[in-house]
Structure 1
Amino acid sequence: MKAAMIFDMDGTLFQTDRILEASLHDTFQLLRDEEKWEGDTPLETYRDIMGVPLTDVWKTLLPLHPTHVHERVNDVFQDKLIQNILGGMGALYPHTEDLLSYLAERGFPIFVASNGYPRYLETIVEYYALDRWIISSYSIEDIDSVDKGELIRKVKADHHLSHGIVIGDRRSDFKGAEANEFLSIGCAFDFSQENELREADVVVDDLIEIRDYLEKVK
């Protein structure tokens, strides 16, 4: 079997940045309306920590708010994200479909392993018909851990994968690949950080470069 290709979703296949600002602003506007937040929406703080589990996001953005507020805000945020996807505000990164088609035609098993919630991932997959190529999408909610390495390990175990490549944009993806003895490819896209990309085995500026890389090493 050829190496499994395990993709992150946000900031790797899907341009989350296109829906993030509106979704986060609407969520924090609700808090303002309820007099539970003052000031601007902490968009830049979220950009900096993009890729961490959402439970950690709300602990960072709302450190003084109780857990039940975090849970409610998360539900609202998920609804806003999905509304904006279905409203056509999002987009796949350039050459996503070209790359996935190339991989599938050549027998590479394709999976998604993401910190995103199941309903959110399902919405993206269905809206863009990514199930033409993706065998299965895994959410961090599928395991009793917030460790991306553990999520990748579940994909590995469920499908009896002996070798694979993890494609993502943040340190958690690269560390998760390393923990499973998989290769990592870093995507220098919207949420990526230069110091984290240094930990990837390969770095690309465009998804189609993954095709070129595979052609060179086959």
Structure 2
Amino acid sequence: MENTATLIKPEAMIFDMDGTLFQTETLLLPAYHKLFDILREEGHYQGETPDEELMLGCLGMLLDDIWKKVIPNGTPAAHRRADELLLQLELEGLNNKTGILYPEVKETLEELHQRGVRLFVASNGLEHYVKAIADARGIMSLFDGVYSAGEHGTASKVDLVRLLLDQHNIQNAWMVGDRSSDVEAGKENGQTVIGCQYAGFGGEQELKGSDVVIHSFSQLLKLHDQAE
């Protein structure tokens, strides 16, 4: 755990979903390969399936931006069909028990909830996807709110977190996430940022600007203990 700041105990913690709470690749990659099989069958895509690492490197982005990188020459119709298929296939996977949380996520969230910390999710994903994960993995009841770009139509995570803070009148929160968009969302809104480095989707500079970097989710409890 890399601590570069004296932390204040938060009234709330705001979590990214993919790469922070949820091991996205355990659900995403099977769906990803099926998606391209269907796109080829329907005539929306030709050639080999793009490398998995390209998709994993886009996690945390808005879907529009993901497809611009993964299918740069795809038509708008192909990109919209990819949206539909990804959601459909991932929801099917969740129903079939595909996809898991990171170690100790549920237990840590339960303990933070017991301590009176208000818990939220802020994700750039689609509404049904984000909420389905929380439902399927038994953590939905722990959150005061689950916010997604898909539901609120926000252009950035900065805007999504600002909306969340305003709607719940939160002054002091920890933004917990694994991508630069999470760091930006926390800092632009004047909040503490806890960077998560256990997923490994981003490069070395991904979490630059975080107040603390953790290497396992359960380290949040120690940080909360130590905070003033």
Alignment TM-score, normalising by the size of structure 2: 0.91
Contact 2:50 2:70 in 1 (8 A): no
Alignment partner, residue 158 of structure 2 = 149
Aligned residue type for 1:6: I
Aligned residue type for 1:194: E
Which whole-Å CA distance do the structure 1 matches of 2:157 and 2:10 have between them?
A: 22
Between structures 1 and 2, the one with greater helix share: 1
Alignment partner, residue 215 of structure 2 = 205
Alignment partner, residue 183 of structure 1 = 192
**How many residues matched?**
218
Alpha-carbon offset, residue 196 of structure 1? 1.1
Q: CA RMSD in A?
A: 1.5
Which whole-Å CA distance do the structure 1 matches of 2:216 and 2:101 have between them?
A: 12
Structural mapping, 1:78-97, within 5 Å: 78-97=87-106
Structural mapping, 1:14-29, within 5 Å: 14-29=22-37
Which whole-Å CA distance do the structure 1 matches of 2:203 and 2:141 have between them?
A: 31
Q: Find 2:141's aligned residue among 132, 135, 138.
A: 132
Q: Deviations over 1:141-164 (max 9, x none)?
A: 233432101000010011000110
Aligned residue type for 2:211: D
Pairing 1:7–2:12 present: no
Aligned residue type for 1:167: V
Which whole-Å CA distance do the structure 1 matches of 2:132 and 2:114 have between them?
A: 24
Alignment partner, residue 112 of structure 2 = 103
Contact 1:24 1:41 in 2 (8 A): no
Alignment partner, residue 41 of structure 1 = 50
Alignment partner, residue 124 of structure 2 = 115
Alignment partner, residue 5 of structure 2 = none
Alignment TM-score, normalising by the size of structure 1: 0.95
Which whole-Å CA distance do the structure 2 matches of 1:119 and 1:143 have between them?
A: 12
Alignment partner, residue 66 of structure 1 = 75
Structure 1 counterpart SS, 2:206: helix
Structure 2 counterpart SS, 1:194: coil
Which whole-Å CA distance do the structure 2 matches of 1:102 and 1:210 have between them?
A: 10
Contact 2:10 2:174 in 1 (8 A): no
Q: Which moved more, 1:37-46 or 1:204-213?
A: 37-46
Pairing 1:215–2:225 present: yes
Alpha-carbon offset, residue 2 of structure 1? 4.4
Aligned residue type for 1:210: L
**Unmatched segments (≥5 aa) in structure 1:** none
CA distance 1:137–1:68, shift in 2 (3 Å): same
Contact 1:28 1:37 in 2 (8 A): no
